[in-house]
Amino acid sequence: MKLLFLLLLFILGHCRTPWYLLDDYTFEQYQAEFQRTYSPEEFSLRQSIFERKLKAIREHNANPTNTWKAGVNHFTDRTEGEFRTRLGVKKGLVHKHHAESIVVERPPLTMSPIPVSVDWRDKGIITPVKDQGECGSCWTFATTEVTESYWAMATGKLNILSEQQILDCTPNPQHCGGTGGCEGGTVELAWAQITATGGLSSEWTYPYTSYFGSDYTCKMSQISHVAKVAKFVNLPPNEQDPVLNYIATTGPLAISVDASSWSPYETGVFNGCNQTNPDLDHAVMLVGYGTDPQYGDYWLVRNSWSPQWGDDGYIKIKRESPVTCGVDLNPSDGDGCDNGPPTVTVCGTCGILYDTLYPIVSH
């Protein structure tokens, strides 16, 4: 039976069992598929979490009104606290939206019709999906991923850049989005530091070592600049047309989102966020947009939770028209700093339109 199960996975070309084959899925199959081993004391806890989540996944997928499908992945046996380490946040901080040095730009809207769909992966400027592991380093991954793309557009070289340099060498005295390192930060903070220190190293010269959640000191001897950033620019917050136009005509963007409900996502157009009080807690990369023939318009977002999660590491987020807004009651979970307002209005599904930015590279 186990051999047949593995053979079926091979034939279907999936790295994990797809959502439509979960009717008879078992905890033993999950352990084999995700190479899980537990201590005797841990086994019952993990099995209980898995069975509760699998029940919810099956119930969600049985509802024909849902526009997305849930599946099993490397989070299915994890607690909520363990999952939140993937978000790069620290609770209890006070909000300040943008530092005074941030440039906000309103690019001219194109006069010609934009394409009905855009996927910057098709342009050969997107590196493979990465995995931040158990470190709250999403802010560094979003920074490197977008920098990689703009450096590739400018030079023709698609380098894989160093998240660890950002983690180790970016001070965070105002507690922007966290306290720094695996305890959280912001893309704005990362690009400001890269600009100030002269550039960003490659992954190969300054490799990622914080996968299991440890922080390290800055290793100046390993910094050998491969890509340089002159400055970074924010689009107007909470406006859809500038974001849509920019993605269509210019390039991908770094964004902040509420990813607290993303863990079971597998495929489809996701609309499962809290739209009344979205809690921006995660930095990711916006790489395109399109329209699903069944579920409607979407934004295409690259995540940093490995290709085992979602649609090979990506998620389609509902693209609304007209746009709805909510109030983030914990803005310091996203890009907030000390000594700012306690709440902020954020717009778009999962708050996707609030904090959108891109780098200007120099070479």
Check 138, 176, 182, 350 and give the catalytic one.
138
Catalytic-labelled residue, pool 61, 234, 271, 303: 303
Instruction: Choose among 168, 161, 163: nearest CA to 125.
Output: 161
* Catalytic choice (159, 282, 330, 337): 282
Q: Is 303 a catalytic residue?
A: yes
Catalytic residues: 138, 282, 303
